[in-house]
Structure 1
Amino acid sequence: MSPAVVPPSPAATVAAGVTLPLVSGALVVLRFYSKRVQRLDLFVEDWLTIPAFLLASGMGVGLVYGVARKALAYPAPQPADPKNLPNFTAPEITINRQLEYAILMMQIPAITCAKLGFLFLYKRVFCTGVENRVKYGLWFTILLCTAWGISFFVSFLFICGTHPSALWGTLLAFKQHCQHILDWNFWMSISDFILDVIIFLIPMPLLWGLHMSTTRKLAVLTVFMFGAVTLAASITRMVIFVRAVQSLKTTYKSKAKGSDNLTITAGLYWTTFECGMALIAVCLPSIYSLLKKTLHEQFGFQTTHSKGNHGLSGKFSNTTYPRKGRTHGSDSDMIPLEAPVITTDIEIHFGDKARSEASHRELRPW
């Protein structure tokens, strides 16, 4: 194994396989609970977390099973005679390759659902009363992520052509039918990172265009900044995969080396870690709304306070945000999606006889 790729220990691999699904699953449940408590509608980004969680859980189970069978986080068996290497196989190698195929097949739709969850949230939050170019840009990114997920899923499904079992067969069968898997991992990890950078940067300029106080903008920005954890995991995964591909290409070209289970373990470990962190990050905006509501109701604590939200003063400084039963924005507590309603008292005079009556009008300054 190349010293450039440091594999996780068996304990770390099991910890990732158990902890990430549990934490992400708890946050998915809390997300739906938040919607129910606040009487908020469910949207596409909410439903996308369910398949993402199920697939991420499957990946975690794969890691734990692989360690239990010593197929992951343990060195691969090698033949006593190097001449037998092309036709040599062992249960640990077979399970290792089968888990590699299964986990990567689950990872692609899982991470695609997480990416689309962010994008559909951006579309609903930032496309209220904005220019069409923002809407078109977000729709283009949604279609791009969808095409990315479908194309890589289908290409990996047939990575060994019509001989899928060659992936977990002998080294000779692997070289004949499945060598494209190394290039596939290389380009998939790089394109995944590029998409993560785009998704991470999208809300930055759009957020400052919202009609909100600076304090409120910073609070919302902090929530979105948790996506940086996912980006960091994506960077690490990309580096690991690039190094792993270089290491495995050297290994498979060598006549004295067979399967490198430790290097494959490192790639699968960071793949599972990235999916888990992406699912956690996409659930945080909804949970932030519940936390804010709970702090206000239980302790009278306001997480953010808007003073003259739009720079208005005098008569127009008394603003309220209307709520209509079930809101049509799942994070309206976090980001106001409607213009404020301004209540004013108007004094009307009729000739010599003055009469005052208070009438309430809705003024929308934009």
Structure 2
Amino acid sequence: MALSLSTNIAIVCAVFIALPIIAVVLRFWARAVRHSGLSADDYLILPGLLFSVALSINNIVAVALGNLGGHIHMDDAGNIVFDDTLTIFLQTEFATQLLSILSLVFTKLSIVVFYRRIFKGKTFSLISSVLLGAVAAWGVAFFFATLFECMPIPMVWKTLFGTPDHQAVCYNYLPMFWATAISNMVMDTAILAVPIPFVWRLHMPRRQKVAVSAIFLLGAFVVGISIARIYFFFLSSDSYANAMDITVNIAPTLYWTVIEAAVAVVSACLPTLRPLFTGISLDALQDFASKFSLRSGNKSSASFRSNQGTATSNSHSNNNKWHLSFPNHSASSSAKIVNRVEAVRSPSAEEALLELQDQPGGIIVSKAIHQQRSDA
């Protein structure tokens, strides 16, 4: 049996409470593994996480008490019933707008500050400073534009959009919603694109450049979600303007807002998690396979020498039938294999990437085999 829209929204919100929490916990665990203190970007991600979780909880409340995902209540004459349920829905919808802006702005600031920690240089410092200013200005402008959409503020949930009472004290904030969503997508795209040219200017193998770029480009999921949110807002804008069945028609916009904030937090944490996986790599597996092969080779060599000694003994006992001749150094020979492995690990992407210029990276492995022979 198919689940109702309300149930699906509640499940989505529950999942996207857990995911950003797990991501941030792993981020701080990675810092502990490296025995490094916390930086400004780590502190900035905490309010981003807090507001993201609050956003999900707020929408669960909207489902439970505000009939989010259910049809709006109407009387026998077909008029909307302005009851406590609709009031709670309007309150939680208003809170969703504010919480999403707060979560996104702190998450964006965390990402840009993280960039500033790993990339150096005047050019990048200037670009990142402009980004920081743009993100901060975006957050302040749209937060207060949303907060004061009605004066006094409680008229947001005491009147319904499109009614004369609402129009008397509130501005038409549909254009502001469009401006918020589109500018948010543009800013995400800019933040996503900024580090890529700097990564490809580093002196390190192409394979590492691709890997590091891929980590940063995982943030493209956020851009995709922003586009999805704009699309669903476009679909619901007519019903929103007409105030008809608003609790159903704008539901996709609201839960895509939840997903966007949560995925933004997860994406901000992904580049910092490499220390947790440094021991799991193709090089490590190859090194293990090399050691295993050497052990097998030593065992085979020992077995061969043992069989050779047995054959020599048997030949002496049967010298009336067989005459074996050996070189003058017929005494035993022994081989000593010395395996020397030197590994140099390059700094991870989470560390200062520009330092890789002096350490081209990779795993450098050298093996030396020495053979010693002694005559009896």
Please classify the TM superposition score into its range, dividing by the shorter chain length.
0.7 to 0.9
Describe how 1:1-366 pairs up with structure 2 within 5 A.
Answer: 9-82=5-78, 88-127=81-120, 130=121, 132-161=122-151, 163-171=152-160, 172=163, 173-249=165-241, 251-252=242-243, 257=244, 260-291=246-277, 293-295=278-280, 300-301=284-285, 331-332=350-351, 335=353, 337=355, 339-340=357-358
User: Where do 4+ consecutive residues of structure 1 move more than 6 Å?
Assistant: none
What amino acid does structure 2 have at the position aligned with 1:126? F
CA distance in structure 1 between the aligned counterparts of 2:116 and 2:142, rounded to whole angstroms: 25
Q: Provide the C-alpha distance between the structure 2 equivalents of 1:240 and 1:149, rounded to a whole number of angstroms.
A: 22
Maintained 8 Å contact 2:271/2:349 = no
Shift of residue 47, structure 1, vs aligned partner: 1.0
Return the letter of the residue paired with 2:355.
L
TM superposition score normalised by structure 1: 0.75
8 Å contact kept, 1:14–1:63 = yes
Deviation at 1:322? Answer: 8.6
Deviation at 1:114, TM superposition (A): 1.2
Larger Rg: 2
- Point out where structure 2 has 5 or more consecutive residues left out of the alignment: 288-341, 361-376
Say which is worse superposed, 215-224 or 238-247, in terms of deviation.
Answer: 238-247
Higher relative CO (Cα under 8 Å, sequence separation at least 6) belongs to: 1
Structure 1 residues 193 and 248: CA distance shift in structure 2, 3 A: same
Per-residue Cα deviation, 1:167-221 (whole angstroms, up to 9, x for no partner): 2123333333234232221111111111111111112212101121101111111
**Pair 267,214 (structure 1): closer, same or farther in 2 beyond 3 Å:** same
Cα distance in 2 between the residues matched to 1:183 and 1:99: 20
By how many angstroms is 1:336 displaced? 5.4
Partners of 1:320 and 1:216 in 2: how far apart?
Answer: 15
* Counterpart contact for 1:17–1:62, Cα < 8 Å: no
Percent identity of the aligned residues?
A: 24
Q: Structure 1, residues 105-161: CA drift from partner, whole Å, max 9, x if none?
A: 11111001111122112222222xx3x232111110110011000111111111102
Q: Which moved more, 1:261-270 or 1:151-160?
A: 261-270
Q: Which residue of 1 aligns with 2:307?
A: none
Structure 2 vs 1, CA of residues 101 and 17 (structure 1 numbering), >3 Å: closer, same or farther? same
C-alpha displacement of 1:51: 0.6
Amino acid across the alignment from 1:21:
I
* Partners of 2:44 and 2:110 within 8 A in 1: yes
After superposition, what is the alpha-carbon deviation per residue over 1:3-55, rounded to whole angstroms, capped at 9, x for unaligned? Answer: xxxxx812221112111111110110110011011112321211111111111
Alpha-carbon spacing, 1:197–1:339, altered in 2? closer, same or farther (3 Å)? closer
TM-score, normalised by the number of residues in structure 2: 0.73
More displaced 10-residue stretch of structure 1: 233-242 or 185-194:
233-242
